[in-house]
Structures are given as structure tokens and as C-alpha cells.
Amino acid sequence: MPPTSSLHWATGFAARLRALLVAARPGWRGRALYALASLPLGALFLALYLGLIGSVVAVVYGVGVLLVLLVLAVTRSLAEMERRLARRLLGVDIPAGERVRDRRGVARRLRRLVFAADTWRALGWLGARVLLALATTTTLVFGLAAFVALGWEVEWNPLTALPLLALMALDVVLTLAVVDLLVRLSASVAPRLLGTAPEQRIAALQQSTRRLADRNRLARDLHDTIGHALTASLLQATAARRTLTPVGERPLQADFARQALGHIETNTRTALAELDRVLTVLRAEDGGRDPAPFAAPSLDDLEDLLAGLRDGGLPVALVVDGDVDDVPAGVQELAYRVVQEGTTNVLRHAGTPLTVAQVVRNGDTLVVRVCNEPPASQPDGRPGPGGGRGLAGLRERATAAGGTLTAERTPSGGFDLCVTLPLSGAA
């Protein structure tokens, strides 16, 4: 047969085989196809076992170690193929196995390949498939031999025809029943040997929990940063518009408007940088990579945070009492977020009243407070109220750090947000 014809024949055969697998559904058709597939696969897995034995023997010659690693790698690949067959033909819910090549570093991959429990469990499953193939072959051979013996080696006559037909039918039924029983036995054992090990499920659950916690934290940071930037920008834009519109004897204040526009530009850049950082982290996590570290805000950044608000018209003072230089970075970031959320809420709900942001170090405790007086008037440019997610997120963060949060109205009609954080809450 010419090479081109051989290639076309192989391609057509592979296409028909794929169509057959796609058309197969869990049921007697799938189990029958699984039993037939076990015959050539059993021979392949037996050859793999012989290769493993030969590799172990060849260790004394120096090349056996490489051969063992190669056999183990092929074993994991064949186990993944077996998972797909079990899902497709038997309807067994088996998750995809761990990919060793996704691990970083050659040493980690080799260590995982050799010492992972699922590698040796997969090897045990391939051995079970060899036994299944042997049992299936034996059943079919004996069933076919009995069928032939009843059909051709026994003299037929009117008296024996009906009993012989009944025996032949019984032979076929018993043969198929035994094969079906073997396949069902394989379906019950497959999840135990091909499924993920308990330690892998625990590790995957822990990793998923960490990723969800990180994404929740990123969502809160994004809410705080962009919410504050937009609120402050609206305040500054309103102030700039008013200073550029002379009313009565009020002169045009171009310098103030220029300063407000500069703060709007800074706020926008900060919000875009935060958005870009969050998207970079999410893409890195989705790609299985560790996100690059970033500089979290600290107490030293509070003055810059409040400077733009003052220029926009919010009279806010910052009071820092006590030595805060050695406050853990995690607590400093949370304290920054408290002031950021507190001043944002002042702008949203009260406009531009007199506001004080206070950070007090009291032994092993850091108290962060944002307190504002009642608004004298409700300016037209005041942002509308938010959905209450900011304070809820702050309360969750404070609780996770071992602290407390209180948010209540003051006797004078203002509002007081107070968060108490233990300095041990950096974790």
C-alpha cells in the first residue's frame, strides 16, 4: 500500500474511532465498547509493566533511572486517557488528574512524578486493566469455544435442536453477563485508583480557598480605591466648575480650578493603576503563576490621600498620636483603608463638613477614627449614597484582623467611624 494511501486510511480510521467514542453513551453500548477496548489496552499496559521491570533491572547499567522516569511519565499520560474513557463510556465522574509539567522547576516535577501517590495508584489501575483484559479474553474464548462445540461438534436432530439452541443462547447470555460484570467492577474501582488522592483534594481545597480570599481582598481594595477616587474627583470637579463660574462679586479663580483639575488627573491615574494591578493579579492567578508583589498603602500615604480632599473643599485634619513607625504593614494598610472609606462616606452622605481623621497608638492597639460634624448644607454636587458594601467589607476585615468596628451618629448629628486593631493582626 502506498504511503499516501496508508496515511489516508489511518486518518479515516482515527476519525471513525473518534465518532464512535462521541456517539457512545453510558449504558450497555458504552460498557461493550469499554470491554472491547480493554483487549488491546491490556496488551499495551502489560508491555508497559514489562518495560518498568526492564528499567528496574537496567538501573545497574546507569540508564535504568531515566527509563523508570520515562515509564512513570507514560503511566500518568495513560491514566489520563483512562479517565476520559471511564467518563465517556462508563459515566464515571472522575476529575482530571494533576499535570506534573505545570509545576515549576525540573526537580519539583521529578519529585512529584516519583513520589506522588497518584502515580503509583495509576500504575495499580493499569495493572487492574491488564487483569480485566485477561479475564475478558478468557471469558470470550471459553464462551466462543462452548458456542462452537454446541453448534458444530454435536449432532443435530429434531430431538436435540431445541435444547442445543437453548444452551447456545444461555452460553451467549452468560458470556455477556460475565463481561458486563467485569466492566461494572472496573467502573466501581476506577474512582478509587484514578480519582484524586485525599491529600490532593485537601491541597486543592486550600488553594481554592486562598484564591477566593485573595480575590475578595482585591475586590475590596478596588472598591475602596476607585470609590474614593471617583467621589473625590466629583467633589473637585464641582468645586472647579463653581470657581470658573463667577457669581455676583465672586471672582474667577483659575488657579484653584487648575489645582482641582490636577487632583482629578492624579485620582484618575491612581484608580487606573489600581485597576491595572488587580487585572494583572487575576490574569496571573488564572494562568497558574504567582502574581508580582505590589506596594500596599501605609500610614505615610494618608497625608497625600487627604491633601486632594482639602483642595476639593473638604476641611479634613489628620491627627497621628503615638509611635506608629513599627506598626506592622498589614495593620497600616487596613488603617489606610479605614480612613479612605471613612472620608469617602463623608463626601457621599454629608458633603463637606468639618472632618477629623485620627490614628492613635495605644500600647499594642491601633485606633483609627474618622469623625465629621453635621453638614451645614447639602451641596448639589454631593455624590449619592453607596450600597453599604464599604462598611461591611471594613467590618469583615477588622474582624479577621482581631479588631472591632463601630459606626454611629454623634450627639451633635455627625457621624463617627471607629476601628480598633490589635498590632498582632498583621497576618
pLDDT for 148 = 83
Looking at the predicted structure, is the pLDDT value of residue 184 above 80? yes
pLDDT for 346 = 86
Enumerate the H helices of 244-312 as residue ranges: 254-286, 302-312
Tens digit of each residue's pLDDT (9 = 90 or more) over 30-88: 888 888 888 898 889 898 888 888 887 777 676 678 888 888 888 888 888 888 888 88
Please identify, among 140, 163, 194, the residue that sits at the C-terminal boundary of a domain. Answer: 194
One domain for residues 295 and 402: yes
pLDDT for 84 = 86
Asked, for residue 151, whether it belongs to a domain, the answer is yes
270/131: higher pLDDT: 131
Asked, for residue 19, whether it belongs to a domain, the answer is no
Answering whether pTM is above 0.85, one says no
222/397: higher pLDDT: 397
Residue with cell 496571573: 284
Report residue 427's pLDDT band, with 50, 70 and 90 as the boundaries: very low
Which CATH number belongs to the domain containing residue 233 in this structure? 3.30.565.10
pLDDT for 416 = 93
Report residue 350's pLDDT band, with 50, 70 and 90 as the boundaries: confident
One domain for residues 244 and 316: yes
Mean pLDDT of the 7-28 span: 64
Please identify, among 167, 194, 221, the residue that sits at the C-terminal boundary of a domain. Answer: 194
Please identify, among 161, 194, 227, the residue that sits at the C-terminal boundary of a domain. Answer: 194
One domain for residues 137 and 222: no
Asked, for residue 363, whether it belongs to a domain, the answer is yes
Q: Using CA atoms, how far apart are residues 186 and 191, in angstroms rounded to an integer?
A: 9
One domain for residues 217 and 248: yes
One domain for residues 401 and 315: yes
- For 58, the domain range is 25-194
Among the ranges given (144-158, 338-352, 399-413), the one the predictor scored with the smallest mean pLDDT? 144-158
Q: Using CA atoms, how far apart are residues 137 and 52, in angstroms rounded to an integer?
A: 24
Identify whether the C-beta of residue 385 lies closer than 8 Å to the C-beta of residue 349: yes
CA angle 136, 142, 147 (to 5 degrees): 120
Name the 3-class secondary structure at 371. Answer: strand
Count of the separate structural domains present in the chain: 2
Tens digit of each residue's pLDDT (9 = 90 or more) over 308-341: 778 767 889 999 998 888 889 889 988 988 998 8
Mean pLDDT of the 193-203 span: 70
One domain for residues 292 and 338: yes
Looking at the predicted structure, is the pLDDT value of residue 152 above 90? no
Asked, for residue 11, whether it belongs to a domain, the answer is no
CA angle 257, 260, 261 (to 5 degrees): 85
Contacts 24+ apart (CB under 8 A), 52-61: 52/123
Average pLDDT of the chain, as a whole number? 78
Tens digit of each residue's pLDDT (9 = 90 or more) over 255-308: 767 777 777 777 777 777 767 777 776 776 665 555 555 567 889 888 888 887
